Homo-oligomer: A and B are copies of this chain.
């Protein structure tokens, strides 16, 4: 397997952990990097990690509190609308991720094949058509833009993961064990080389 970079985020929104980075640390054979949950810093941190590690594949992950399944993101949009402050206290609204960039990027990874690979491990997964408008979507867009404009040989995409159980013990919100997320991520990395994403049977969900 060629070099793989996996990024997760630092905790945000009052949490003390973030399952996206905790899971990244459990995936064998990849480089795990933690990104700041800060609009002003995250894209540069992503770029620096890519330049340092020169991967063939980058999978960025983020926590999607409230979602119950692994979500492979198909779309990243050129828009920032923060409902809560980021970790630097900023709450930007109505701004593009990249001034003058296209309105959105559709992922060039085989997202449907990737979802099938996770399900084959017995783990719930789905293609998602919105990565939100917070730092996760910013990083998803920044990665797609970097690939489109500077690194055509790089492959990459974004995946959202549920809360870890310990984050939501006194709620009725869905969660997923971090070890399970790591198994899903391992399957996603392998499947990202798949060439059969446009199978005729249609959308995975």
Nearest residue, chain B, Cβ from A174: B174
Instruction: Judge if A146 is at the interface, Cβ distance under 8 Å.
Output: no
B residues within 8 A CB of A173? 68-69, 124
User: Given A68-B174, A172-B205, A79–B106 Cβ distance below 8 Å?
Assistant: yes
Within 8 A of B (CB), among A163-180: 165-166, 168-177, 180
Q: With A91-B202, A94-B198 in contact, is A122–B169 under 8 Å at CB?
A: yes
Interface-side segment among A6-14, A53-61, A125-133, A149-157: A125-133
Q: Give the residue name and chain of the B residue nearest to A122 (CB).
A: B166
Looking across the interface, which residue of chain B has its beta carbon closest to that of A127?
B81
Query: Is the Cβ of A79 less than 8 Å from the Cβ of B68?
Result: no
B residues near A202, Cβ cutoff 8 Å: 81-83, 91-94
In the complex, the answer to whether B203 meets A82 with C-beta atoms within 8 Å is yes
- The residue in chain B whose Cβ has the minimal distance to the Cβ of A173 is B68
Whether the Cβ atoms of B129 and A130 lie closer than 8 Å is yes
9 contacts between A and B (CB under 8 A): A69-B172, A75-B103, A82-B203, A93-B203, A104-B106, A124-B169, A126-B172, A133-B203, A177-B180
